[in-house]
Structures are given as structure tokens and as C-alpha cells.
Amino acid sequence: MSSGRTPDAGIGACEIRRLGVLISGSGTNLENIAVKIEEGYLRARIAVVISDREDAYGLVRARRHGLQAVFLDPGSFPDRVSFDRELIRVLQENRVDLVILAGYMRMVSPEFVEAFRHRIMNIHPALLPSFPGTSGVADALAYGVKVTGVTVHFVDEGLDTGPVILQDTVPVLPGDDVESLHERIHGVEYRLYPEAIRLFCEGRLRVEGRHVRILGEGGEESIGLA
Ligand code: GRF
């Protein structure tokens, strides 16, 4: 029986997706994604890497992998809206399908969210909605939680409030400091972010309100993780 789907419109049809990665700092997640592409785990291409900081080490990592790496200076724009308009322009010029925030330390404007609705992902080093904001690791540690983790989510107009795609836990160990805890969190990030991007690239994510459904390989809903 025919499924009624054309071969290239099917789930998992694996068209090569073009990623735009925004960074502000070290860029280890960016580099990990670049490696996953090189290894063939991800059928995607990083079309452009953009940093809002000239000294972001992630720009060096990007160039080492032969990627187009651009510094956009927020100081040369009158406000966030005009800076974000230039970001949108560069991303669209590079025909980006999915925007990846990887340690990007600025909130994006509503106009930016609208331009790439459900096509912007962020990774957060805590289990949202706990400990949003820029110091999620330190805040979890200070609170005294026994378990924290990693969240990959779509970006909406709020601060770390968008629909959750994947989460995983990281135990807080006796004697942990911010550095040791963040190191173990990074380890989970290097697995979770490529997994979420892969699901997107395979057309297996459906956003329904606050809920992100993960479709199985044949198009049926998956109850676990892929
Ligand atoms: C990551 O821990 C991520 O969760 C947070 O910023 C950090 C970026 O690290 N949003 P890196 O620049 O990828 O090393």
C-alpha cells in the first residue's frame, strides 16, 4: 500500500540542512557539531558561524574546520533590533535552515524569533525551567540540587522558555565546583545537541504548543528518545 508520500518528502529524507551557528565564547559545542558533521553523524553543513565578540575562541575553532566565521560588532548598531536585522540578513544570505545558539550570550529579538520560528535551537546547562539565564551551572550548585542537567529547546521570545526538545540529567557530586560540574555537563551537551540537530535534519520534530513530539523513523510518534 502506498503511503502517499513522495520519496523526498518522507520522514528521514535526509536533505542536507544548512546550519547557522551563533557563538560568543569558547565554541566547544560548535566544534563538536562540526566534528559530528565531518564524521557523517549529521547530514548538515555549517553555512556560517557568527560571533558577537571579536575575541571569541570559537571563531578560531570555526576557521580551523574551514568554516566561514564572521564577527558582527553589536557596538556598530544603534540597538538590538538593528543588530538582529543584520544577523537575519547574513543568515538568510547563507540560506540557513536552522539557527544553532551555542554559548551565544545575547537574547534574540522577537523579530529574529519570528524570522526563524521553530528553527532556532539553544542549549542550556541546566534542567529548564530550573535555573534559566547565564549562570545556570552556578545557580544549580548554589541551590544545592542533587541532580541538574542539560536542556535543548527551541527558542521563543522569553529567556530560556521555549519548547523543550531533549533533556538529560547530570548528578551533582560531593565536592563539585562550577568548573567540575560544567565539565560533566559539557560531556552530556556533546551528545545531546547533535542528537537534537539530527532529529531536526531528519524532519522528526513536531512542535505542538509547548510540546515537541519526536517522530520515529517511519513517521510514527516515538515515546522514548531516538
Ligand atoms: C554551554 O555550556 C551551553 O550550555 C551554554 O554555554 C556553554 C557554551 O560552551 N549555553 P561552549 O562555548 O560551547 O564551550
Strands in 42-108 per DSSP E: 44-51, 69-71, 98-101
Q: How far apart are CA 168 and CA 35, in angstroms?
A: 22
Which CATH class, in words, describes the domain spanning 122-226? alpha beta
The CATH code of the domain at 15-116 is 3.40.50.170
Strands in 59-163 per DSSP E: 69-71, 98-101, 120-124, 147-154
Which residues of the chain are in CATH 3.40.50.170 domains?
A: 15-116, 122-226
Which three cell numbers mark 160? 530560556
Q: Which atom of ligand 1 is nearest to the CA of 150?
A: 4
CA of residue 4 to ligand 1 center, whole Å: 42
The yes-or-no answer on residue 211 being catalytic is no
CA of residue 94 to ligand 1 center, whole Å: 24
Residue with cell 534559566: 132
Phi, psi of 175 (to 5 degrees): 85, -5
* pLDDT (tens place) for every residue of the chain, 226 residues total: 333 333 333 444 557 999 999 999 999 999 999 999 999 999 999 999 999 999 999 999 999 999 999 999 999 999 999 999 999 999 999 999 999 999 999 999 999 999 999 999 999 999 999 999 999 999 999 999 999 999 999 999 999 999 999 999 999 999 999 999 999 999 999 999 999 999 999 999 999 999 999 999 665 665 444 3
Which of 123, 151, 160, 180 maximizes ligand 1 atoms within 8 Å of its Cβ, making it the mutation to test the pocket?
123
